[in-house]
Amino acid sequence: MFEKVALIGVGLIGSSLSHAMRRANLARTIAASARTEATRAAVRRLGLADEVYEHAADAVKGADLVILCTPVGTFDALAQEIAPHLKDGAILSDAGSVKQAVVDAVAPHLPPHVHFIPGHPIAGTEFSGPESGFAELFDGRWTILTPLPDADEAAVAKLKAFWEACGAHVEIMEPKHHDLVLAITSHLPHLIAYNIVGTVADLEEEKKSEVIKFSASGFRDFTRIAASDPTMWRDIFINNKEAVLEILGRFTEDLAAMQRHIRWGEGDKLFDKFTRTRAVRRSIIDAGQESPEPNFGRTPAPKKD
């Protein structure tokens, strides 16, 4: 599908894209850039790229498709670095979890001959680094593309076909709408998880050890979410603060209502709430976005050599 694809950053998403591209034979050449020599060495050892560079500007030269797979806080500087080296007609995309901030950070630096089509694969685990990737990460999951109003239709269609070949379903969406939807489905749950696990971290040492020792599935699942990459999630909350704060306000109101139900022994209202939320869980499984299998069917991170 592409002569050369450049992956800027080779963590979970970048390495999984490499595996998915190898599986479907989507690129003749895969180039990658990574800041540290340790990561570059891992990329070479795992065969994730045919060309490995320290600097993104070197990786993008001659690439038909460039995907930014680093935390969104790096995008402004990266766009300035790579802009002069992007090929005529190249598609530039990303894997960031916010979109309007990405548009604002990247678009002003790009020459007119580049097709900028922001994207977001809604897939992941709590693991990071080049060893954590696997080809099946995107299978049956959604990737959202948020092209700008003047985007080239052929370029959008080609990028859509690329993600579908990687195993994903693809939806086209406006950037601000994406950010509001993801604030509900992803960003708020992560914020809650970080806060709950942070509360435990602040407990007296004796209580903390008991909580860890007797962790039931509820708290244990929160710790999985809270183990996600801290740099990535810091950048997400800073760059999507309006949508997150709007949804957080709604959540705070609902939480206050739950508090009243518990205080006044309103069991019928609690039962109604729990019944409705249980139905949401079932609908997610029915939609193919989760599995009832043990460990929810999640693929464990590969063991390091």
Question: HSE-up of 118 (CA within 13 Å, CB side)?
Answer: 27
Mean pLDDT, residues 226-251 = 87
Q: Which residue type occupies 29?
A: T
Q: What is the pTM of this model?
A: 0.81
The Cα 94–Cα 100 span in angstroms is 12
147 pLDDT above the threshold of 90: yes
CATH fold of 177-264: 6-phosphogluconate dehydrogenase C-terminal fold (1.10.3660)
Q: Which ranges in the chain are annotated with CATH 3.40.50.720? A: 2-173
Residue identified by tokens 């696990």 is 197
30 pLDDT above the threshold of 70: yes
CATH fold of 2-173: Rossmann fold (3.40.50)
Q: In this predicted structure, what is the pLDDT of residue 294?
A: 45
Q: Which ranges in the chain are annotated with CATH 1.10.3660.10? A: 177-264
Q: In this predicted structure, what is the pLDDT of residue 133?
A: 92
Q: Give the list of residues 6+ apart from residue 296 with CB closer than 8 angstroms, or none.
A: 290
| pLDDT tens digits, 67-125 | 999 999 999 999 999 999 999 999 999 999 999 999 999 999 999 999 999 999 998 77
What band does 261 get if pLDDT is binned at 50, 70 and 90?
very high
Question: HSE-up of 122 (CA within 13 Å, CB side)?
Answer: 21
% of the chain residues with pLDDT over 70: 91
Q: Which residue type occupies 233?
A: W
220 pLDDT above the threshold of 80: no
